[in-house]
Amino acid sequence: MWPAGVSRYGNPYDRPVDGEAAARAWVDAWDRSWRSKDADVLAAVYSDDAAHRSRPDREPQHPLEYARWAFAEEEDDLELWWGEPLVTGNRAAVEWWAALTDSGELVTLAGTSWLTFREDGRVVEQHDYWTITPGRATPWKGWGTS
């Protein structure tokens, strides 16, 4: 016999998230958003109360606020690559690599975003680790494969 209020399929609010699909939706949204510099594209993949910490030494903020701030100083020469998401349960890690002009300087950014998804597949928490290097560099052969 199942506990009161719980069917043999479990509590309807405790459905596991499809982490793989959620991670791929996040990559697609960020790819479109970053290339177009349109932070609103990201709204579909983040919860309203999502917290994003873009670096360990920065305070958390909503991801759309962060994207608007980050895109403001970038020019239109973006080259962008994404690694295959590594997913376990409701968590994912996604590598990314970008070469662009930021505040008038040619730079390469490479990093990893750590994501936690709610049951509906939207990101509720994200924190990033990344580096910035002067000049334009492309990923090495085999980069981003799991």
Query: Per-domain residue ranges for the chain?
Result: 15-134
Query: What CATH topology corresponds to 15-134?
Result: Nuclear Transport Factor 2; Chain: A, (3.10.450)
Q: For 77-108, write each residue's pLDDT tens digit.
A: 999 999 999 999 999 999 999 999 998 999 99
Q: What does the block give as tokens for 136?
A: 């334009």
What is the pLDDT tens value at each position of the chain, 146 positions in all?
A: 445 544 333 444 455 899 999 999 999 999 999 999 999 999 999 999 999 998 878 889 999 999 999 999 899 899 999 999 999 999 999 999 999 999 899 999 999 999 999 999 999 999 999 999 999 999 999 999 86
- The whole-number pLDDT of residue 85 equals 97
* Global pTM value: 0.86
DSSP 78-122: -EEEEPPPEEETTEEEEEEEEEEEETTEEEEEEEEEEEEE-TTS-
- The whole-number pLDDT of residue 64 equals 95
